[in-house]
Amino acid sequence: MKRFTAACGAVLMAASCHHPEKEKETVTWENRGDTVVVPATAPLSAKLHLLTVTEKPYQLQLLTAGIVKAIPNNYAEIAAPFAGRVVKSYVRLGEKVNAGAPLFAISSPDFYAAQKAWFQANQLCQQAVLAQRRQQDLHQHGVGAARDLEEANTNLAVQRQELENAAAALKVFNVNPQQQVLGEPLIVRAPIAGEVISNKLVMGQFLKNEEGPVAVVAQLAQVWIAGQVKEKDLRFMHEGDAVQMQVAALPDTTFTGTVFHVGRTIDENTRAADVLMLCNNPAHQLKPGMYASVNFKDAPEKVVTVPARAVLQDNDYSYVLAEVRPGTYVRRKVITGETAGQQVVVRSGLQPGDKIIGEGAYYLSAVK
Quote the crossing angle between the two packed helices 146-171 and 109-140, to the nearest 10°: 160
Highest mean pLDDT of the ranges 214-218, 293-297, 316-320: 214-218
pLDDT digits (tens, 9 = 90+) for 58-113: 777 778 899 999 999 999 999 988 889 999 999 899 999 999 999 999 998 888 88
- Which residues are bridge partners to 229 per DSSP? 273
Q: Which domains does the chain have, with CATH numbers?
A: 30-58+301-364 (2.40.420.20), 63-72+220-297 (2.40.30.170), 74-217 (2.40.50.100)
Question: What Rg do the C-alpha atoms of the chain give, in angstroms?
Answer: 42
pLDDT band at 219 (very low <50, low <70, confident <90, very high): very high
Provide the 3-class DSSP secondary structure of residue 357.
Answer: strand
Assign residue 6 a region: left if phi > 0, alpha if psi is -120 to 50, beta otherwise? alpha
- Which residues are bridge partners to 307 per DSSP? 343
d(CA 245, CA 335): 31
d(CA 298, CA 338): 12
Look up the pTM and report it. Answer: 0.61
